[in-house]
Amino acid sequence: MLNILSWNIRQGGGNRRTDIVKALTKFGAEVVVLSEFRNNEAGLYIRRELIKSGYFHQHVGHATKEKNSVLIASKIPFDASHCQNADTNFPAAILKANFDVLSLYGMYLPHKKKHRLFDFLLEELKDSPPAILVGDFNTGKNYIDQKGNSFMYSEYLTRMEDLGYQDAFRRMNGEVKEYSWFSHQGNGYRYDHSYIQSDLLPIVKNCYYLHHWRIEGMSDHSPMVLELA
């Protein structure tokens, strides 16, 4: 079994970093993708502790210490590439890890800001080998992944599906109402996703959230786990 765990750790983790690392290492996913990762003291601590637990292969976005980025940490070797030209305003929003049999995009897309990152992804995915996209998309499908219709870029999820990519969570769980982030007013939003190329669907065994990590205060987002055979 291969587990890919993606998680928005909220502003780099801060003083929650110890609990974050303990939770990650105890769970033991083979690949971890952290969004809102920051290249600061907390980020260095997280990377160092993950190395101690066997995550020797790491790739992080080129961002200053106060900017949100992405970290991919893996127990399995991969070739890494930055996607800095996807949008010059958000050069650290997408990272790519090329494994032997598939490519993995780890993402933290801006919240309600104009960007070209989805356009970049659509071009990338047109003729690419089988790929998986995980992370905080900061969007979803209106009236499905939230009660209302405030999501921007929802139409791009449909366009990704037209290219043969499917929402692994919906594939496994149907139209269940489940959310990965909640506002102060208690409104739920499913911002965090795993999209997988259709050729890989036979190896998808499960896709689910670890809500108790959010409820326990380790972050304001629930991690998502994608289980592959």
Average pLDDT of 105-113?
97
| Dist CA 37 CA 42 (whole Å) | 9
Please determine, for residue 61, whether its predicted confidence score (pLDDT) is greater than 90: yes
User: Is residue 208 classed as helix, strand or coil in its secondary structure?
Assistant: strand
What is the extent of the structural domain holding 31? Answer: 2-228
pLDDT at 128: 85
Alpha-carbon gap, residue 206 to 108, rounded angstroms: 22
User: What span, in angstroms and rounded, lies between the C-alpha atoms of 227 and 229?
Assistant: 7
> Mean per-residue pLDDT for 207-226?
98
pLDDT in tens, 116-172: 999 999 999 998 889 999 999 999 999 999 999 999 999 999 999 999 999 999 999
Work out the pLDDT band at 11, boundaries 50, 70, 90. very high
CATH number assigned to the domain comprising residue 112: 3.60.10.10
| pLDDT > 90 fraction of the chain, expressed in percent and rounded | 98
Burial of 91: CB neighbours in 10 Å, binned 0-12, 13-18, 19+: middle
The mean pLDDT value for 191-198 works out to: 98
Domain count along the chain: 1
32 strand-pairing partners: 5, 73
How far is residue 37 CA from its own chain's centroid? 11
Residue 210: name the closest of 38, 29, 45, 56 by CA. Answer: 29
Which range, of 45-49, 99-103, 133-137, averages the lowest pLDDT? 99-103
Sign of torsion, CA 165 169 174 180?
negative
Task: Give residue for tokens 């629930």.
Answer: 222
Mean pLDDT of 205-227: 98
Q: What is the arithmetic mean of pLDDT over 168-196? A: 97
Phi and psi at 59, nearest 5°, equal -145, 130
The stretch 16-37 carries a mean pLDDT of 98
Cα gap 219→77, rounded to integer Å: 28
Q: Where are the alpha helices (DSSP H) in the chain?
A: 17-27, 41-52, 117-126, 154-162, 168-173, 211-215
pLDDT of residue 127: 84
